[in-house]
Amino acid sequence: MTRKYFGTDGIRGRVGTQQMSADFVLKLGWAAGRVLAGENGGKVLIGKDTRISGYMFESALEAGLSAAGVDTRMLGPLPTPAIAYLTQTLRCQAGIVVSASHNPYYDNGIKFLGPDGGKLPDELEEAIEAELEKELVTVDSASLGKVRRITDASGRYIEFCKSTFPSSASLKGLKVVVDCANGATYQTAPNVFRELGAEVVAIAADPDGVNINKACGATAPDALAEAVLAESADVGIALDGDGDRIVMVDEAGRVLDGDDIIYLIAMHRQSQGHQVGGVVGTLMSNLGLELALRERGVSFERAKVGDRFVMQGLRRNGWELGAEPSGHVICLHASPSGDGIVAALQVLAALVASDKKLSEMASGIEKLPQVMINVPTPGKVDLNKYGAIQDAVAQTELELGEAGRVLLRPSGTEPLVRVMLEGKDAGQIQSLCESLAGAVEDALKSAG
Active site positions, annotated: 101
The angle subtended at Cα 174 by Cα 173 and Cα 176, nearest 5°, is 150
Q: Rounded to an integer, what distance in angstroms lies between the CA atom of residue 308 and that of residue 314?
A: 10
Q: What are phi and psi of 2, to 5 degrees?
A: -80, 125
387-400 vs 426-447: helix axis angle to the nearest 10?
170
Q: What are phi and psi of 376, to 5 degrees?
A: -65, 145
DSSP strands (E only) in 382-443: 404-410, 416-423
Q: Rounded to an integer, what distance in angstroms lies between the CA atom of residue 437 and that of residue 34?
A: 44
120: which residues sit within 8 A by CB, 6+ positions away?
94, 112, 113, 114
Residue 211 CB neighbours (<10 A): 18
Give the distance from CA 50 to its chain's centroid: 16
Strand partners, 407: 420
The angle subtended at Cα 201 by Cα 197 and Cα 206, nearest 5°, is 125
DSSP 103: S
Query: Computed from CA positions of residues 120, 123, 128, 132, in that sequence, does the dihedral angle turn out positive or negative?
Result: positive
Strand order in the sheet with 416-423: 370-376, 416-423, 404-410
Q: Rounded to an integer, what distance in angstroms lies between the CA atom of residue 268 and that of residue 298?
A: 12
β 416-423/94-98 pair status: unpaired
